[in-house]
Amino acid sequence: MTAKETAMSKGTISILGLGAMGSAIVDRLRESGYDTVVWNRTAAKAEPHVKAGSEHAATVAEAARAGDIVIAVLLDHASVREHLEPVATELKGKVVVNLTTTTPNESRATAAWAAEHGLSYLDGAIMATPPMIGRPGSSLLYSGDENAFAIAKLALETLGTADFEGADAGLASLKDMALLSAMYQMFTGFLQAAAMMRTVGVAAGRTAEDVIAWLSELIPHVGHFAAVIDGEDDDPALRQDVAFTRPAIASLITAAREQGVSSDFLEPLKKHLDELAATGRGDANWISVIDQFPINE
């Protein structure tokens, strides 16, 4: 924080929700020179913020009236709707930013509700942990009302990079969920490796070093997979077909079981490869399993 940043208020932002993330956001906005008004279901959590210079709103309506921008950082979609719906009148003319994690359709439903009430609504997704807020590496995604984004952008950029994904309010959430899906599958892969190696006394820390080294080399391959999926390129040097990959995955499953370790997280890939082989696609690139992902066809 610089003296210049605190010298003059840049406007008033109300924050609904003072959990770990809401608190980090208020701290950052306050140190960036914004007047902040805070509301939390459990009022005691407002105390440290009031001591640090925020104002406390006793009700959501009071917070909504006070802010030029109103940011919700609550638990889930239900808690957002529970607290925003009764204050639609007070939110009129404000920019409403929902940073609570919701699914794309939940985001779209809240955007539709906001549109019905003539509200400026921006849906956001936070690609950061609370300590990362306002620091390099913190990234936030937004979608919905582009004009609302333009108005709030300066304030939102104090939290991390602010990228507008498009007018469909579900887009920020969709990207968030897609990236988190990739993340959890990657971490689950590490857990599988650690579970296998600890059967012979290798500490998870040692396996972590090996996994980090191995995956760091391989992660650029997603670019090759993407080129195949997008129909742009299928470099034969990097290609592995179903007939090759299917027994390889079967061996991983057998090896896990031999060590007395569950193969539950590996089985779905084997199932999809079996389906490709059974439908005459043994010579297809193994990443053709992506063709089996759609469930509404």
Question: Would you say 82 or 267 has its CB closer to ligand NDP?
Answer: 82
Task: State the Cα–Cα distance between residues 202 and 206, nearest whole angstrom.
Answer: 7
DSSP run (H or E) holding 121: strand 120-127
Whether the Cβ atoms of residue 66 and residue 57 lie closer than 8 Å to each other: yes
Question: Would you say 27 or 285 has its CB closer to ligand NDP?
Answer: 27
Residue 58: CB minimum distance to ligand NDP, A: 14
Whether the Cβ atoms of residue 261 and residue 202 lie closer than 8 Å to each other: no
Number of chain positions touching ligand NDP (CB under 6 A): 21
Position closest to ligand NDP via CB: 19
Is residue 48 involved in binding ligand NDP (CB under 6 A)? no
Residue 184: CB minimum distance to ligand NDP, A: 13
Question: Would you say 125 or 193 has its CB closer to ligand NDP?
Answer: 125
Q: At what angle do helices 104-116 and 77-84 cross, to 10 degrees?
A: 10
Per CB under 6 A, the segment of 15-23, 29-37, 197-205, 265-273 that binds ligand NDP is: 15-23
Structure tokens at 290: 């992506």
Task: State the Cα–Cα distance between residues 67 and 83, nearest whole angstrom.
Answer: 16
Residue 78: CB minimum distance to ligand NDP, A: 7
Beta bridge partners of 273: none
Question: Would you say 18 or 29 has its CB closer to ligand NDP?
Answer: 18
Q: Which one of residues 37, 126, 140, 152 is an interface residue with ligand NDP (CB under 6 A)?
A: 126
Is residue 180 involved in binding ligand NDP (CB under 6 A)? no
Per CB under 6 A, the segment of 18-26, 116-124, 204-212, 231-239 that binds ligand NDP is: 18-26
Residue 140: CB minimum distance to ligand NDP, A: 9
Residue 77: CB minimum distance to ligand NDP, A: 9
Applying the rule CB under 6 A, the residues between 58 and 117 that interact with ligand NDP are 73-75, 79, 82-83, 100-101
Give how far Cα 281 sits from Cα of 56, 135, 267, 273, 285, Å. 63, 48, 19, 9, 9
Question: Would you say 32 or 138 has its CB closer to ligand NDP?
Answer: 138
HSE value, Cβ hemisphere, 13 Å, CA-based, for 135: 8
Question: Would you say 73 or 122 has its CB closer to ligand NDP?
Answer: 73
State whether the Cα torsion 62-63-64-68 is positive or negative.
positive
Question: Would you say 17 or 33 has its CB closer to ligand NDP?
Answer: 17
DSSP SS3 for 105: helix
What DSSP line would sit under 176-221, residue for residue? HHHHHHHHHHHHHHHHHHHHHHGGGT--HHHHHHHHHHHHHHHTTH
Whether the Cβ atoms of residue 90 and residue 96 lie closer than 8 Å to each other: no
Question: Would you say 186 or 248 has its CB closer to ligand NDP?
Answer: 186
Applying the rule CB under 6 A, the residues between 127 and 156 that interact with ligand NDP are 129-130
What is the spatial order of strands in the sheet that 35-39 belongs to? 55-56, 35-39, 12-16, 69-72, 95-98, 120-127, 139-144, 161-164
Residue 187: CB minimum distance to ligand NDP, A: 14
Positions that interact with ligand NDP (CB under 6 A):
17-22, 40-42, 45, 73-75, 79, 82-83, 100-101, 126, 129-130
